[in-house]
Amino acid sequence: MRQVQIMPDASEIVHYSCPNIPVFVQNDDKLSNYPEKRALCHWHKDIELIFVITGEMNYHINGKSILLHEKDCVIINSQQLHYGYAHRDFDCHFICIRFHPNVLGGNPGIYQKYILPLIENSNLNFFLYKKDSRNYLPVKEFVDQMVSLNAEKKEACELEILSRIHCLWRALFCEFAHLLQKETTSDNQDLQKRMVSYIYENYQKDLTLAQIAASANISRSKCCMIFREYLQQPPVEFLNRYRLEMSRRLLLDSQSSITQIAFSCGFNHLSYFSKQFVQQYGCTPTAYRKRNRT
Per residue of the chain (294 residues), what is the pLDDT tens digit?
A: 667 777 777 788 888 988 789 999 998 899 999 988 999 999 999 999 999 999 999 999 988 899 999 999 999 999 999 999 999 999 999 999 999 999 998 788 888 889 988 998 888 999 999 999 889 999 999 999 999 999 988 888 999 999 999 999 999 999 988 877 654 546 788 899 899 999 999 999 999 999 999 999 999 999 999 998 888 899 999 999 999 999 999 999 899 999 999 999 999 999 999 999 999 999 999 999 998 876
In contact, 63 and 231? CB cutoff 8 Å? yes
Beta strands across the sheet bearing 82-86: 64-68, 57-61, 82-86
Residue 34 to residue 250: CA distance in whole angstroms: 16
Residue 237 to residue 243: CA distance in whole angstroms: 10
Q: Where are the domains of the chain?
A: 23-179, 187-293
Q: Topology of domain 23-179, per CATH?
A: Jelly Rolls (2.60.120)
Nearest to 265 by CA among 284, 281, 250, 287: 250
Helix-then-strand count for the chain, H and E: 11, 8
Domain 187-293, second-level architecture: Orthogonal Bundle (1.10)
Q: Where are the strands (E) in 33-192, listed by range?
A: 47-55, 57-61, 64-68, 73-76, 82-86, 92-99, 126-129
In contact, 72 and 138? CB cutoff 8 Å? no
Residue 187 to residue 86: CA distance in whole angstroms: 29
